[in-house]
Amino acid sequence: MDIIVLKPGVKRDQIKKIESRLKSMGLGTNVIIKGTERTIIGVKGDTARILPEQEDSFRVMDGVEEVMRIIKPYKLASREVKNSGTVINVKGRKIGGKKLCVMAGPCSIEGPQTFMDIAQKVKKAGANFLRGGAFKPRTSPYSFQGMGEEGLKILSDAGKQTGLPVVTEVMDPRDLEAVVDYADIIQIGTRNMQNFRLLLEVGLCRKPVLLKRGLSATIKEWLMAAEYIMSNGNSKVILCERGIRTFETSTRNTLDLSAVPVLKKLTHLPVIVDPSHGVGHVEFVVPMAKAAIAAGADGLMIEVHSNPQEAFSDGEQSQTPEQFMKMMKELKPVARAVGRDI
Amino acid sequence: MDIIVLKPGVKRDQIKKIESRLKSMGLGTNVIIKGTERTIIGVKGDTARILPEQEDSFRVMDGVEEVMRIIKPYKLASREVKNSGTVINVKGRKIGGKKLCVMAGPCSIEGPQTFMDIAQKVKKAGANFLRGGAFKPRTSPYSFQGMGEEGLKILSDAGKQTGLPVVTEVMDPRDLEAVVDYADIIQIGTRNMQNFRLLLEVGLCRKPVLLKRGLSATIKEWLMAAEYIMSNGNSKVILCERGIRTFETSTRNTLDLSAVPVLKKLTHLPVIVDPSHGVGHVEFVVPMAKAAIAAGADGLMIEVHSNPQEAFSDGEQSQTPEQFMKMMKELKPVARAVGRDI
Amino acid sequence: MDIIVLKPGVKRDQIKKIESRLKSMGLGTNVIIKGTERTIIGVKGDTARILPEQEDSFRVMDGVEEVMRIIKPYKLASREVKNSGTVINVKGRKIGGKKLCVMAGPCSIEGPQTFMDIAQKVKKAGANFLRGGAFKPRTSPYSFQGMGEEGLKILSDAGKQTGLPVVTEVMDPRDLEAVVDYADIIQIGTRNMQNFRLLLEVGLCRKPVLLKRGLSATIKEWLMAAEYIMSNGNSKVILCERGIRTFETSTRNTLDLSAVPVLKKLTHLPVIVDPSHGVGHVEFVVPMAKAAIAAGADGLMIEVHSNPQEAFSDGEQSQTPEQFMKMMKELKPVARAVGRDI
Amino acid sequence: MDIIVLKPGVKRDQIKKIESRLKSMGLGTNVIIKGTERTIIGVKGDTARILPEQEDSFRVMDGVEEVMRIIKPYKLASREVKNSGTVINVKGRKIGGKKLCVMAGPCSIEGPQTFMDIAQKVKKAGANFLRGGAFKPRTSPYSFQGMGEEGLKILSDAGKQTGLPVVTEVMDPRDLEAVVDYADIIQIGTRNMQNFRLLLEVGLCRKPVLLKRGLSATIKEWLMAAEYIMSNGNSKVILCERGIRTFETSTRNTLDLSAVPVLKKLTHLPVIVDPSHGVGHVEFVVPMAKAAIAAGADGLMIEVHSNPQEAFSDGEQSQTPEQFMKMMKELKPVARAVGRDI
């Protein structure tokens, strides 16, 4: 059901044209309601399949003031299609269940020794997934751009040795095959949330996809990005809130924790939170990790580096393994307080 | 200490003029550092007292590219001046201590019976402060504008009967005397956070001031507003995060919970959170209340109405007394998990 | 006409209750439209008088998913009520006509000599209104706060001597009488755009009101603020775009010039632009002044100071009289190119 | 030259460590300035080559409060490296010269006849470049995704027949070869402004690149994206402002025209404006096109469709050829008023 609001003084033949256009789209019987100030057309029929461009085409017709959409543009991601929460199983570890998932590791993979060292420490502290970047999106072309496929191997080895499933980002469709070979979860980063071609391709994979929210993406756009992946057959999508861009500069981004309960209402997909990128300063990560869990998140993604001063990227927001271990202990009672385990 | 960055190709006599201007302001000995691409002047002396307009006056001098400020513009509100957290005592109830404060009540005071009814219910549920609006900022001139002084009396009576301190908003300096007579805490609303005259006047009061964050105020500007109040002698300021304006529309505002740990670092003043205004939909209030406590807030402000459908304002975000009671029970373990009581 | 979208699975008696509530508000005959995914209620009758709080009251009823509003909440300010553009006559000078108005002068009035000097120079350069602040909203309590009533006298004297009508800001309702005595146009600053009590009081004045856009106000909220003034009988409102707060920091604010054509469509009130505050750096004022005129603005407000280095406020964005004179010459062909005079 | 601000109470050995780290990076002689409230280190030497990650590494050192950067992170794009404005020659037509460039055409290429029809009309109206999308980024996976390579051929043919150079977007590095074969200018769309791999690859091309601003990109980030392209050898970059995301919803985006003079100060690259995407409603395109030229833009990108009601995408913001022709006439005097031709 959609609503077409007509301009004051709309003419009969303008309404006729709108109706015949609706009819030509198979949207037959409509209802015209004359109010004191406006006349509206209530469109019956299967309006769910009206595409955005078709919606727009009514907006430019003579006599039309506004087109209001009632049906949500995403379907597969919606709670209306699937009411129960999706639980994603990755090598025996569940995302979306009672037990929270914690994905920890450094921003960039910098070498086998340092990475294995971190991997073992985060595992010991209670992380159940290992993260690490091999392909790095960097704002400066002169910055370290990641170890590439060599990094993927290091990641995969560390995963095998620790028994932790691994998650890493793909930036370029040409790297997807390699990433799929080595990773257990494929990450789509914030800058690629609307890289629609990449979304379609990970939609053809069997592996779960961690979809980070775009820096200025509305929740609706984010769910449309998930829909892209799901429309190609891959329904194992994990949403990750990581902060949006606002006018506030005391944190790197503004972590939008309200997105957690909003998503829990709109979608059946699991939702995790990355407070490290959200706040950008290590001193604020712990309180926001606690808040994320209290808000109902299904897990966390945390940056950990043995020596943040020497990190090739994101040192300022990385915890040391000791800080991570301490945080994990403090998160336990918070998780329990909201009926979860960690 | 301030830094003046000079333009490439700055001339000697331009630097001379800058230095003599500094000298005339009593900022004597400066250090000039020549780098490969820029020359900078490091300003010594008591730069803390340089006013924003004086800072600006250097920006427009010939040869100046940028002026960088190191000193924070707020002082009385800063942790550097007072390191230990401020605890505000209101009729025996503490704000900023181990026990969280919970201020509950309807958006608008609508009449003695309905208000007393809510007051008793929120008290029973564990609220330790009573809130209610007598002067209401409404976006439409045709909306209910509050009961005015009559509402203040109802508020005060309900406070006496329940034994709860009361908090209410002042919008106009001419109402301040009445508000001070009836209220235990004076609220400055989000739209008045930079009503500087009003800030100066509540600064002359002895009563604590609850200062809500402006809809588009940075944390720094918010602390400057607190500084306005404190500069006039009233150091009993409570900061209240209530959401900022962003591009996201699925919530009324974007509740910036990161502001809690950021403020805890920068200022000694207590910080509470109003999730009702932050999210604007009652269904999201409980998770965000939990998250606020987990993030380290010193308390909550919650809208409660016996019959949200009949509320004169903000019905959509108000809890019923039953929902409030249920939430209070659920908040207990969260508070304990972060070392607080409720 | 309003639309109430019902939840999937809404029950008969829930619809009954909604309808009986509508009936009790005198909104009798409604239309129920059942679509494939949603049922909606089209509300007939004089929905224009439904207040925001009444609208909200439907949002919290069982079975309601969403309430959509068709009628604009402002009326007096709307082009639907008055189609032709309003022209405001101030001492023989028109705002909103073919000839553009240019209001120029310093941010703060600092003394009689300096002010008179600027006044004569901007007049000579072609300004047709004189601006100057006597009450200054300053972010720091330690900054210069304006000369107060003494400043008003200086302003008024300069106006008389130059023959230019004068505009100045009122921040506090208690100063309104004095401001009305001395000023020809009363300015409501960006921080007071939603100071509703002040809006109501200037609505009782006979003098034109210059209403600056709030830093984070939507165009709709801005028009609602105009509606506040007009609802009290004063229809002489001039809207002034002066930049909104965004994430971009290379300019002080983001000057939203699109607001000019949007407002020209929605309202009959004149619209001017303040590029000085919009960009915050003098070097960007000229191009944005030209752009404002090209976009269809009815005039400009420009900060001019004889010696920006010595300005008590906003020195960084003030033009010298020479820069102003040069700009006025450059604006002439731009104004003519869009069918205006200057 | 960079500045490291130390925490109050910083210890001697902490300063030592910072200095030895600087020394190890070849940044030898530093200056320590003790102020009343803070001590700072002024870093000498070639700080221009300090990478963001190295900068960060100081931020996490003990005793460091803040690191301030003076040197701009982009170089090749900067006016400091090349002071005169870059003029890009595309098949004899210049971008960045006195004559404005106007790139017009439909959002999507929909077929040979309709495209050729539009091409001929926009040429006749005075456009000097032809635009059209073959690969379309669409928010819904169910929307038309573009004609792909077939569309490129249609575009190229129309270019040959009209004699207009053609511009089209590349979204996927795997399509780049085809796009380079058919297009005269390669467009990087707003969603790919930080698709760093794609930027590096177009940096290897010889063809000019039209780089649209990201929806939430700061001007600095935008110039860093240009730097990515230039760092790989392609200095023919054209910047295109097309609106940023803000809280305002009456326009699709907020067209940031201030970006034009800001960019003109910071970079030598040409700057054009796309008002169609910026405002999203055809009725606001003309005033904003005029404003863009008045603000100093080097050209425009305009969406034109023979039948906006039938457009496969962006119908709401497309002009008809008649509207475009009328606009071109109206732009002439505006261009002349600011010393340009069109």
What CA–CA distance (Å, rounded) separates A247 from C243?
A: 13
Q: What percent of chain A has pLDDT over 90?
A: 76
CATH value at residue A231: 3.20.20.70
Contacts of A246 in chain C (CB under 8 A): 247
How many Cα atoms occupy the beta-carbon half-sphere of D302 within 13 Å? 36
Q: Does C341 touch chain D (CB under 8 A)?
A: no
Q: Tokens standing for D285?
A: 């395109």
Alpha helices in chain C (DSSP H): 12-24, 52-59, 112-125, 149-162, 176-182, 196-202, 219-231, 259-266, 275-279, 285-294, 321-337
Task: Tell how far CA A134 is from the center of its chain.
Answer: 20
Q: Which residue has the tokens 């809809």?
A: B215
Task: With CB atoms and an 8 Å threshold, state whether D3 touches B40.
Answer: yes
Contacts of B247 in chain A (CB under 8 A): 216, 218, 244
Instruction: For residue D145, tell me if it sits in a domain.
Output: yes
Q: Tokens standing for D181?
A: 């074969």
Residues C116 and C211 in one domain: yes
pLDDT reading at C48 higher than 80? no
Task: With CB atoms and an 8 Å threshold, state whether D70 touches B246.
Answer: no
Contacts of C34 in chain A (CB under 8 A): 44
Bridge partners of C326, per DSSP, are none
Q: Specify the range with the lowest mean pLDDT, choosing from A306-315, B75-84, B214-223, B226-235.
A: A306-315
pLDDT reading at B35 higher than 90? no
- Looking at C69, C99, C120, the residue that finishes a domain is C69
Contacts of D309 in chain A (CB under 8 A): 57, 60-61
CA distances D214 to A215, B116, D82, D244, D278, Å, are 10, 53, 25, 7, 12
Q: What is the pLDDT of residue A71?
A: 76
> What does B232-256 look like in DSSP terms, one character per residue?
TT---EEEEE--B--S--SSSSB--
Q: Which residue has the tokens 């005039």?
A: C299
Instruction: For residue A43, tell me if it sits in a domain.
Output: yes
Element (H, E) at B231: helix B219-231
pLDDT reading at C267 higher than 80? yes
- The model's pLDDT over B119-175, given as tens digits with 9 standing for 90+, comes to 999 999 999 999 999 999 988 888 888 999 999 999 999 999 999 999 999 999 999
Q: Does D38 touch chain B (CB under 8 A)?
A: yes
What is the separation, in whole angstroms, between the first and last Cα of chain C?
43
Instruction: For residue C79, tell me if it sits in a domain.
Output: no
Check residue A254 and report its DSSP letter: B
Q: Which residue has the tokens 């998160």?
A: A331
Amino acid at D293: I
- Label residue A1 by pLDDT band (50, 70, 90): low
Contacts of C59 in chain B (CB under 8 A): 315-316
What CA–CA distance (Å, rounded) separates B44 from B28?
A: 7
> What are the phi and psi torsion angles at D127 (to 5°)?
-65, 145
Q: What is the pLDDT of residue D50?
A: 83
- The model's pLDDT over A173-229, given as tens digits with 9 standing for 90+, comes to 999 999 999 999 999 999 999 999 999 999 999 999 999 999 999 999 999 999 999
CATH value at residue B7: 3.30.70.1140
Contacts of D80 in chain B (CB under 8 A): 8, 37
Check residue B319 and report its DSSP letter: B
Task: With CB atoms and an 8 Å threshold, state whether C254 touches D251.
Answer: no
Task: With CB atoms and an 8 Å threshold, state whether B283 touches A265.
Answer: yes
pLDDT reading at D29 higher than 70? no
Q: Tokens standing for D292?
A: 């863009």
Q: What is the pLDDT of residue C29?
A: 67
What CA–CA distance (Å, rounded) separates C44 from C209?
A: 36
- The model's pLDDT over A265-284, given as tens digits with 9 standing for 90+, comes to 999 999 999 999 999 999 99
- Label residue D1 by pLDDT band (50, 70, 90): low
CA distances A171 to A239, A287, C281, D212, Å, are 17, 30, 39, 19
Q: What is the pLDDT of residue A122?
A: 97
- Label residue A36 by pLDDT band (50, 70, 90): confident
In this structure, the strands spanning D30-34 and D39-43 are antiparallel
CA distances D31 to A321, B48, B66, D42, D71, Å, are 35, 21, 20, 5, 17
Task: With CB atoms and an 8 Å threshold, state whether A42 touches C46.
Answer: no
pLDDT reading at B44 higher than 90? no
- Label residue C1 by pLDDT band (50, 70, 90): low
Check residue B188 and report its DSSP letter: E
pLDDT reading at C256 higher than 70? yes
Instruction: For residue B78, tell me if it sits in a domain.
Output: no
Amino acid at B162: T
Instruction: For residue A83, tell me if it sits in a domain.
Output: no
- Going by C-alpha positions, the residue among C312, C258, C247, C313 that lies closest to residue C280 is C313
For C254, name the nearest residue in chain A, comparing CA atoms only: A247
Interface test with A, best of D57, D234, D283 (most A CBs within 10 A): D57
What CA–CA distance (Å, rounded) separates C95 from C77?
A: 16
To the nearest 10 degrees (0 to 180), the angle between helices C52-59 and C12-24 is 170
The answer to whether the CB of C125 falls within 8 A of the CB of C324 is yes
pLDDT reading at C302 higher than 80? yes
Q: Whole-structure pTM over 0.90, yes or no?
A: yes
Bridge partners of C69, per DSSP, are C2
Q: Does B237 touch chain A (CB under 8 A)?
A: no
pLDDT reading at B28 higher than 80? no
Residues D105 and D53 in one domain: no
Contacts of A252 in chain D (CB under 8 A): none
Shortest CA gap A315–chain B (Å) = 19
Shortest CA gap D257–chain B (Å) = 19
Q: Specify the range with the lowest mean pLDDT, choosing from B263-267, C65-69, D299-303.
A: C65-69
Task: With CB atoms and an 8 Å threshold, state whether C290 touches D292.
Answer: no
Residues A8 and A37 in one domain: yes
Task: Tell how far CA D302 is from the center of its chain.
Answer: 16
- Label residue B314 by pLDDT band (50, 70, 90): confident
- Label residue B36 by pLDDT band (50, 70, 90): confident
What CA–CA distance (Å, rounded) separates B134 from B156?
A: 11
Bridge partners of A304, per DSSP, are A319
Q: What is the pLDDT of residue A39?
A: 87
- Going by C-alpha positions, the residue among B179, B216, B164 that lies closest to residue B194 is B216
> What are the phi and psi torsion angles at B210 (to 5°)?
-95, 115
Output the CA torsion sign for D229, D230, D231, D233. positive
Interface test with D, best of C258, C273, C276 (most D CBs within 10 A): C258
Output the average pLDDT for chain B. 93
Bridge partners of A5, per DSSP, are A40, A66
Q: Specify the range with the lowest mean pLDDT, choosing from A73-82, C1-10, C171-180.
A: C1-10
Q: What is the pLDDT of residue D51?
A: 83
What CA–CA distance (Å, rounded) separates B284 from D266?
A: 45
Task: With CB atoms and an 8 Å threshold, state whether D219 touches C250.
Answer: yes
Residues D202 and D127 in one domain: yes
Task: With CB atoms and an 8 Å threshold, state whether D8 touches B70.
Answer: no
Q: Tokens standing for A87?
A: 């639980």
Range of the structural domain that residue D141 is part of: 88-337
Name which of A47, A245, A247 is nearest C35 (Cβ-Cβ): A47
The vertex-A182 CA angle with A178 and A185, nearest 5°, equals 105
Residues A285 and A216 in one domain: yes
- Mean pLDDT over residues B326-338, rounded? 98
Task: With CB atoms and an 8 Å threshold, state whether A250 touches B218.
Answer: yes
Q: Tokens standing for B32?
A: 């000039």
- Label residue C34 by pLDDT band (50, 70, 90): confident
What CA–CA distance (Å, rounded) separates A232 from A254?
A: 32
CB pairs under 8 A between B and D: 85
Q: Does D284 touch chain C (CB under 8 A)?
A: yes
Shortest CA gap D34–chain B (Å) = 7
Interface test with B, best of A248, A252, A253 (most B CBs within 10 A): A248
Shortest CA gap C204–chain A (Å) = 29
Task: With CB atoms and an 8 Å threshold, state whether B37 touches D1.
Answer: yes
Instruction: For residue C93, tell me if it sits in a domain.
Output: yes
Shortest CA gap A216–chain C (Å) = 10
Name which of D191, D224, D282 is nearest A140 (Cβ-Cβ): D224
Residues C63 and C99 in one domain: no
How many Cα atoms occupy the beta-carbon half-sphere of C145 within 13 Å? 11
- Mean pLDDT over residues D161-189, rounded? 97
Q: What is the pLDDT of residue B1?
A: 61
- Looking at B39, B69, B99, the residue that finishes a domain is B69
Q: What is the pLDDT of residue C311?
A: 84
Q: Specify the range with the lowest mean pLDDT, choosing from B229-238, C187-196, C303-312, D154-163.
A: C303-312
Q: In what order do the strands lie in the sheet with C2-6?
A: C30-34, C39-43, C2-6, C64-69
pLDDT reading at B30 higher than 80? no
pLDDT reading at D263 higher than 80? yes
Task: Tell how far CA D148 is from the center of its chain.
Answer: 23
pLDDT reading at D167 higher than 80? yes
Shortest CA gap D297–chain B (Å) = 24
- Looking at B69, B100, B128, the residue that finishes a domain is B69
Check residue B9 and report its DSSP letter: T
Element (H, E) at D323: helix D321-337
Residues B51 and B154 in one domain: no
What CA–CA distance (Å, rounded) separates B207 from B147?
A: 22
Residues D209 and D300 in one domain: yes
CB pairs under 8 A between A and C: 86
Amino acid at B62: D
The set of residues, in sequence order, having a beta carbon less than 8 Å from that of B92 and lying 6+ positions away, is: none
Q: How many CB atoms lie within 10 A of CB D278?
A: 28
Amino acid at D221: E
Q: Tokens standing for D273?
A: 């404006």
Q: What is the pLDDT of residue A214?
A: 97
CB pairs under 8 A between B and C: 134
What is the separation, in whole angstroms, between the first and last Cα of chain A?
43
Task: With CB atoms and an 8 Å threshold, state whether B311 touches C57.
Answer: yes
Task: With CB atoms and an 8 Å threshold, state whether A261 touches B293.
Answer: no
Q: What is the pLDDT of residue C194?
A: 96
Contacts of B68 in chain D (CB under 8 A): 3, 68
Interface test with A, best of C40, C41, C216 (most A CBs within 10 A): C40
Task: With CB atoms and an 8 Å threshold, state whether C216 touches B216.
Answer: yes
Output the CA torsion sign for D205, D211, D214, D215. negative
Highest mean pLDDT among B157-166, C72-81, C137-146: B157-166
- Mean pLDDT over residues B292-309, rounded? 96
Task: With CB atoms and an 8 Å threshold, state whether A287 touches B293.
Answer: no
Domain count, chain D: 2
- Label residue D45 by pLDDT band (50, 70, 90): confident
Q: What is the pLDDT of residue C26?
A: 84
> What does B271-293 look like in DSSP terms, one character per residue?
EEE-HHHHH-SGGGHHHHHHHHH
Q: Tokens standing for B57?
A: 């006056």
Supply the Cα-derived Rg of chain B in whole angstroms.
Answer: 23
Instruction: For residue C236, tell me if it sits in a domain.
Output: yes
Q: Does B7 touch chain D (CB under 8 A)?
A: no
Task: With CB atoms and an 8 Å threshold, state whether C334 touches D337.
Answer: yes
Bridge partners of A99, per DSSP, are A341
Task: With CB atoms and an 8 Å threshold, state whether D174 touches A174.
Answer: yes
Q: Which residue has the tokens 């030229």?
A: D293
To the nearest 10 degrees (0 to 180), the angle between helices B52-59 and B12-24 is 170
Ramachandran area for residue D105 (φ above 0: left; ψ -120 to 50: alpha; else beta): left
What CA–CA distance (Å, rounded) separates A208 from A202?
A: 9
Residues C53 and C98 in one domain: no
Instruction: For residue B58, tell me if it sits in a domain.
Output: yes
Residues A144 and A275 in one domain: yes
Shortest CA gap D213–chain C (Å) = 12
- Label residue A29 by pLDDT band (50, 70, 90): low
The vertex-B12 CA angle with B11 and B13, nearest 5°, equals 95
Secondary structure, 3-state, D204-240: CCCCCEEEECCCCCCHHHHHHHHHHHHHCCCCCEEEE
Element (H, E) at B176: helix B176-182
Shortest CA gap D323–chain B (Å) = 31
Residues A129 and A29 in one domain: no
Residues A197 and A60 in one domain: no
Shortest CA gap D336–chain A (Å) = 33
Check residue B225 and report its DSSP letter: H
Q: How many CB atoms lie within 10 A of CB A81?
A: 13
Task: With CB atoms and an 8 Å threshold, state whether C57 touches B144.
Answer: no
